[in-house]
Chain A
Amino acid sequence: MSRSMKAVHLVLLAAALMASGGVSAALPMAAPTGGFPASPPAPGPVPKLAVPIPASQTLPNGLQVVSVRRAELPLVTARLVLRSGGEMDPPKLAGLAELTANLLSKGAAGKTAPQIAAAAEALGGTLKAAAGWDESAVGITVTTPKLPKALALLADVVRQPTFSAAELGRAKAQAIDDLHLMLSQPTALAALAASRGVFGTGAYGHSRSGTPASLARITRADVQRLHASLYRPDNAILVLTGDITPARARQLAQASFGDWPKPAMPLPVKPVGKTASRLPAILLIDQHGAGQAGVVVAHAVPPRRAPDYYVGVVANAVLGGSYSARLNEQIRIRRGLSYGASSRLEPLSDAGLWLAAAQTKNPSVPQVLDLILAELRHLGRSTASVHELAARKATLIGSYGRSLETTEGLAGQVARLAIYGIDLQQIDQYIEQVQAVTPGQIEAYAHRHLDAEGSKVVVVGDTSRFAATVRKAHPKAEVVEAAALDLDSPLLRMPTRGGLPTD
């Protein structure tokens, strides 16, 4: 668009505004006294957020029962959570924990998969099962009168899954199709590769959803073995949130899970989460025909129970935790290079992950990558202003408060505390802890854990459009074809000249 045309439009705009302002005088309702205020009215007194307090009880078999009462509507979320997830996948059996969780509702206690789905849906809910890192969970949200039946169904699928060969075959075929779907999305594939770059051969470095090869290897005996070793009351938490009292929670937990025996064998030890990575610092994965590229930058960060957890939370909030955070400000708002740039912090039991991502048109990859790295450098070398920090802390606190408004959100927050053995009363100390973080702490955290030079970078896209430019600034960037990736290998590909053999 030419400069002269721009001028014309600005004149038109001014005229339109004057016209609308001029008409207002003739309106039936008068403009506010003194005209429409030129600045926003000041806020009233701050309202108080009331955080519901969890109650925790333990049954004789070791099952922890956590309930939180929020009784505005007749709804309850029930979730059975195990303190183990994808990190327990044995070597070469990536995806086993997730497949096991998926199979729970596909046949149990004499009922077939369709019978279980029909039973859950007749109660108005859906049995949702999934495995994450450090947790596996199956849950359902129902109206209060349906809760006893929902818990009985939950107990059936957790305690007595059938794991039939036919269902295993179905689940494997679906998991392989789902995996191909995920890997066709540039940012999802880049995030998977970046996790390998951060955690190496550690437990958090493999594909939690499996690989086509590992899924094909999994047998019924593998599923049964994982279930027998991890699905036990002394490794489980029953979370009940919503329209429920602690006494009722205990009564219902006892009825459905009270006779769940605790095995004599000890719980398996968690494997090491992270080892040194042998991936290049910058990996460019070529995906032919990609309409947009995914740019991911990742770092290892301290685990959930580390004392600087809240410093990490606020540092991430400043960098990329919300729309107005620095990454989106630089990449989307100022430059229009992406629909959204953001980052997330995922502190786990034995290590943690920080990951930033943005999708952009292929030719913009070098610019977006350098903008992300520049923000990492900036955070570790200068203090955030008091003003900026106050805004990002408010964003965090507000979003936390809203997460407690639904029964599902509440269940998620208390489950995350319970999994890591953190005092449940911390649910009420979030605001205080976030407010206590200082600019100096953030700078030191970023310098130590998020330094640009130590970043693991993965870009997935049409590399013919950006690899040469990326290499000008980063000569060591390596290119690999998406079709040649070996997700089972810590190097993500078969050994090349001088490469180390994969294990």
Chain B
Amino acid sequence: MTMRLRPAMLLATCALLAVTGAWPPVAATELRIPPIQFHQRTLSNGLQVLSVVDHSSPNVAVQMWYHVGSKDDPKGRSGFAHLFEHLMFKSTKHMHAEQMDRLTEDVGGANNASTGDDVTNYFEVVPSNYLQTLLWAEAERLSNLNVDQKNFQSERAVVEEEYRTRVLAQPYGKLFNAIDPYSYTTYPYKRPTIGSIKDLQAASLRDVINFHKTFYRPDNATLIVVGDFDQKQLDAWVDRYFGWIPKPALPVPPITVKEPARKKNLRYTVTSATAPLPAVALTWLIPPASHSADTIALQVAAALLARGDSSRLYQSLVYRHQVAQQVGADADGRIGPGLFVVYAILASGHQPAEAEKLLNEEIIWLATQPISTAELDKVKTQLLTSELEHRQTAQGVAFALGNATLIEGGPEHVNTDLAMLQKVSAADVHRVLQKYVTGARSVTIDYLPQATGAAAATANGEAK
């Protein structure tokens, strides 16, 4: 699956809360949540290992994050990093195809993986007595991948069906798939993660071998373990199964191209045979996610615009003017240049231009007019509560650590970004919006249903 990683989440300040079971005073004005107490080390072959002990459930989450994503797809092979991710579930020297499922699902665990622009992560959760088994299995597929032609072809067909499911069968799939190709001119983010049927069909087993050799290596990976285990035991197992894997002599190929600043506003049109209603999306370039002060202020801006029914875009476009049935805003921070995206799916009888005008008005208003403390507090509380919900599970904690480490600039960001969020002011929101959005150039994508392609069922005697 190419599921795009959950956008970097932000946390409110945390100090230790003793969980005593006593009812916290209702008068408490500021909630305190415990920081994630992670343990960190790096093996001599370069493998980074992060771990958090938590005995609250008898499970353990094991995640391998590789510092490779669709931005590293080989030339003429868009979608390859993602296709490769699927192949990591096929055979290795000591495991038969789908044995990873035998070691997880069949013993009461689960596994999956995702590919984004910058990273590919493989994640499992298993009853904690299978931790050693899973460490062996992850070391095995890092060091001993061995895919055959038959498995390669059947899995490539699965990925082609995934393309059809995500891009063709989803009424707004083509729109969201068009955002990156139209938003970047130069940086390799311009290739969609899912790729194209043509490029997928051009891929070969030789590409698989080269890709594994180039990017799947201990010095290009982060292992994250969270849950019910003993730290010393974990360290010994990690040394045993991962320590011997060689660090290749050649460095990982860096991406050196720069995305140039946009010189003018651009507009594109995409059509759909099945979408029942038009849509419009606007994007602007933003700095890398590791520029925390700007990134976090942009996340707050996106939340003010579109998080929940009380947000500004929802209130304007969906509620008051009723030109849209759905709106969204996202500060999509990446390792390289990211995107600030706003979009609207129109309500019946309305056109993209109406929504675009209102989207721009709301953004300009937010970028220039006073923002109340109550409204800022609201989005901070929303972001904190949502993050707490994610942190209820070992898997959720591991994802937060992985995003912090690979995207946001380092594992400490899982805790330090909280303090920064608390300090975001109206002036910060104004500053980043004026710099990256209202004072910069946009790309606009109009998404239009094809006149002949309306495919939705209608009832007899539909009233208008």
Contact = CB atoms under 8 A, between A and B. Distances in A.
Interface stretch (A208-216, A220-228, A344-352): A208-216
A180 B392 contact: no
B143 to A, nearest CB: 7
A173 B322 contact: yes
Nearest to A148: B26
Interface string A155-176: 0000000000000001001101
A408 interface: yes
A17 B93 contact: yes
A439 to B, nearest CB: 17
B347 A486 contact: no
A391 B392 CA distance: 27
Given A36-B244, A40-B137, A483-B457, A73 B388 contact: yes
Contacts of B169: 185-187, 290-292, 294, 359
A398 B107 contact: yes
Interface in B271-314: 273-277, 307-311, 314
A485 interface: yes
Nearest to B273: A289
Interface size class of B (residues with CB under 8 A): 35 or more
A29 B45 contact: yes
B157 A337 contact: yes
Nearest to B103: A40
A401 B459 CA distance: 43
Interface string B375-413: 001100110111011011100000000000000000000
A333 B311 CA distance: 43
Nearest to B31: A143
A279 B411 CA distance: 58
Given A36-B140, A178-B325, A486 B460 contact: yes
A422 interface: no
B261 interface: no
Contacts of A332: 158, 161
Contacts, number: 353
B422 to A, nearest CB: 14
Contacts of B459: 211-214, 485-488
Contacts of B158: 332, 336, 338-339
A433 interface: no
Contact of A71 (B21, B128, B460): B21
Nearest to B346: A177
Contacts of B243: 29
A105 B171 CA distance: 28
B455 A287 contact: yes
Nearest to B171: A184
Contact of B319 (A28, A114, A287): A114
A460 to B, nearest CB: 9
A152 interface: no
A291 to B, nearest CB: 3
Q: What 5 A-B pairs come out closest when comparing CB atoms? A: A291-B168, A398-B108, A336-B157, A289-B273, A124-B385
11 contacts: A27-B45, A121-B309, A122-B381, A184-B171, A212-B459, A289-B450, A336-B153, A338-B165, A339-B165, A407-B392, A483-B454
Given A36-B94, A40-B137, A288-B452, 12 more contacts: A29-B45, A71-B19, A75-B389, A126-B308, A173-B347, A184-B456, A289-B453, A332-B158, A336-B157, A339-B164, A359-B161, A402-B57
